[in-house]
Amino acid sequence: MSEQDQPGADHAGLLAALCKLEAEIAATAAQAMAAWAPALQRDEFRASAANMAAYLALRQADLRGLQYPLAALGLSSLGRAEGHVRASLAAVIAALGRITGGGAAKFPRAEAFDAPGELLDARRDALFGGRRAGRRPGSW
């Protein structure tokens, strides 16, 4: 069996890079939330604001070095995580931890992926209006 075929071969560095990215996103998102705190008057909006802060932090990061290795393992490249940034990152870290044989991270609950996307869609439609008939998803 070649080194590449062994469980966890060369993936520990990728896992470390993802954990570092997760910490950087958490720190950057926390700074944004602290700056936004005076303007956040509705409690029901805080979770969406926290996801937006994490999304902006994710988009500031250079993911190019992570995307191909993640895709080669059949894992998310994090390119479509806008509705559930932290849960998507946690799921990829948990899966990669299992691949490397040393991961203790837990997978997020499935609900973490359902509601935020629906809420994101509802808030998008409230802000920009619903999609026009005959238009493809993503265009208004």
How far is CA 37 from its chain centroid?
22
Three-state secondary-structure class, residue 105? coil
Of all residues in the chain, the percent with pLDDT exceeding 70 is 83
User: Do the domain assignments include residue 135?
Assistant: no
Please state the domain count of the chain: 1
Extract long-range pairs of 56-64: CB within 8 Å, 24+ residues apart.
Answer: 56/28, 56/29, 56/32, 57/24, 57/25, 57/28, 57/29, 57/32, 57/85, 58/25, 58/85, 58/89, 60/28, 61/21, 61/24, 61/25
Q: What is the pLDDT of residue 4?
A: 47
Nearest CA to 84 out of 114, 106, 56 is that of 114
pLDDT band at 99 (very low <50, low <70, confident <90, very high): confident
User: Do the domain assignments include residue 85?
Assistant: yes
User: pLDDT tens, 40-93?
Assistant: 988 888 988 999 999 999 999 999 889 889 988 888 878 778 878 898 899 999
User: Do the domain assignments include residue 104?
Assistant: yes
User: Do the domain assignments include residue 73?
Assistant: yes
Q: How far apart are CA 91 and CA 70, in angstroms?
A: 12
User: Do the domain assignments include residue 102?
Assistant: yes
User: Do the domain assignments include residue 36?
Assistant: yes
Residue 127: pLDDT above 90? no
Q: What is the pLDDT of residue 133?
A: 57
Residue ranges making up the domain that contains 39: 3-128
The answer to whether 47 touches 83, Cβ cutoff 8 Å, is no
User: What is the average pLDDT across 98-112?
Assistant: 80
pLDDT band at 28 (very low <50, low <70, confident <90, very high): very high
> Mean pLDDT, the chain, as a whole number?
82
pTM more than 0.85:
no
Q: How far apart are CA 132 and CA 134, in angstroms?
A: 6
User: Do the domain assignments include residue 133?
Assistant: no
User: Do the domain assignments include residue 134?
Assistant: no
